[in-house]
Amino acid sequence: MDTIEEQKPGTTRCGNTEFVWGRKTYVMGIVNVAPDSFSGDGLAGVEEAVARGLRMVEDGADIVDVGGESTRPDFTPVPVEEELKRVLPVVERLARELTVPVSIDTYKSEVACEAVAAGARMVNDVWGLKKDPGLAKVAADNGLPLVITQNQRGAEFKEFFHELIADLERSMQLALDAGVDSSNIIIDPGVGFGKTVEQNLEVVRRLAELKSLGRPILLGTSRKSFIGHVLDLPVEQRLEGTAASVAIGIANGADIVRVHDVAEMMRVVRMSDAIVRGKDS
């Protein structure tokens, strides 16, 4: 059985795409088919969602992440049947029409299983296997990458960053025990998700410390409320704040950035990579 200590970032295969960690920063575009999305970008129609995904790839996205349930504070959980109704037509169309992998953003194993059958090639679990450990088996059985997010909702940490790392380690071990290949584990420190403004800022500032876990890091700061608190701006005016957090995140070791505004953030990524990794990255 794999253990956390043995992991090296290396490479991860996702569908027909191979991610070589450290070579460049990859961009994950967000397609929300949840009408109550915190970011105000929720889409109700399949055609509009597919068009957004296609446009994101034209703008440079390396992955398109499709989600059917809001992750905002005090969100209303969506029944499995409703979530499937929202995401499956979009996943199926995008998987057929895109040249890059489609990811399914869900914490429910039933949704993940159906989405994978429809063409999803990555599973993004915002609850880090805490809500439904069966999600790991879906990833393991299909040989898919699994994003494990540290979700702090309902918990209070006394030694914040130390406990955040320990929590990620527990989720990683759950994935390994379920048979997920070590090369398929991606970690996300979970900016937002029950953390205070100060804790979110600390995550970005100390992101490099997560390299001790030996796995690639996904950072999702796009339009989030901590940016609004710092700048005193509504969600639709957080582009520059997002750009700053993305650039500093890349400098501190982010391997994937999950964003709403792909065209603008691609420029930030390319400039940041030129500085951090060299102009030919």
Model confidence, pTM: 0.93
Count Cβ atoms below 10 Å from residue 1 Cβ, excluding itself: 8
Which positions ≥6 away from 46 have C-beta within 8 Å?
89, 90, 93
Catalytic residue ranges: 224, 258
Pairing label, strands 17-20, 11-14: antiparallel
> Residue written as tokens 């890349």?
250
* Cα gap 155→195, rounded to integer Å: 9
Q: pLDDT 10s digit of each residue in the chain, 281 long?
A: 454 444 456 999 999 999 999 999 999 999 999 875 544 455 568 899 999 999 999 999 999 999 999 876 666 788 999 999 999 999 999 999 999 999 999 999 999 999 999 999 999 999 999 999 999 999 999 999 999 999 998 888 889 999 999 999 999 999 999 999 999 999 999 999 999 999 999 999 999 999 999 999 999 999 999 999 999 999 999 999 999 999 999 999 999 999 999 999 999 999 999 999 986 66
Residue 14's DSSP bridge partners are 17
Query: Which residues, 6+ apart, have CB-to-CB distance to 76 below 8 Å?
Result: 36, 70
The domains of the chain, with CATH numbers, are 22-276 (3.20.20.20)
For residues 95 and 111, is the Cβ–Cβ distance under 8 A? no
- Using CA atoms, how far residue 195 sits from 154, 230, 263, in Å, is 10, 14, 28
Q: How far apart are CA 189 and CA 145, in angstroms?
A: 17
